[in-house]
Structure 1
Amino acid sequence: MTRLNATRSDNFLEVITNRHEAGSVTDPLKKVLGAQVRDLRLARHLSQEGLAEELGVSTRYLAGIERGERNLTLDSVDALAEQLGVEARSLIGRR
């Protein structure tokens, strides 16, 4: 079995996440998640404060999620989806 050295695999991941060609990954999942959460909030006609209160998180924390700055665990995504009443995959699915 061949092992990749850390530098080579790090470079590979950087290339994958920074591609901007058609059909490639353009946004990190946390940005996709943030956009989905924001869209759900707006569809419910809620302010960030209102949704944050519903979710039991601070407004600042929710704002960080919506901006794609929070790196949530899969368990957190699952819990967030449950609180929002949607399937977890709908939060991370690309449009």
Structure 2
Amino acid sequence: MARISALQDNDGSLLRLGEAIRARRRALDLSQEALADAAGIDRSHMGKIERGERNVTFLNIARIATAMGCRPSELLADAEL
């Protein structure tokens, strides 16, 4: 099976998820660097996630959610996924 990349995000799911993460991060007044550090994710990778340029794994979604004090399902709901 071929690996799915962000280039194949035809319905904009990754972009919506990234926007939801960014909006929640800003609402919490966290810098991208602070969130990345708290989630154990490289800051440049976090930026790519927020821009919808990476097909983020569920484990990273869970780490990001934990770092922001919410559940992964809340991030997905914010992104209308």
Report how far residue 72 of structure 1 moved: 1.6
Report how far residue 66 of structure 1 moved: 0.4
Contact 1:52-1:59 at 8 Å conserved across structures = yes
Point out the structure with max Rg over C-alpha: 1
Q: 2:29, 2:59 → 1: CA distance?
A: 27
Deviations 1:22-78 (A, max 9, x none): xxxxx5221111011101110111211111111111110110110011102334323
TM-score normalised by L of structure 2:
0.69
Match of residue 41, structure 1, among 25, 32, 35: 25
Stretches of structure 2 that go unaligned for 5 or more consecutive residues are 1-7
Deviation above 6 Å: which 4+ runs of structure 1?
Answer: none
TM-score normalised by L of structure 1:
0.61
Q: In percent, how many aligned pairs have the same letter?
A: 35
Contact 1:32-1:91 at 8 Å conserved across structures = no
1:50 equivalent to 2:38? Answer no
Contact 2:33-2:43 at 8 Å conserved across structures = yes
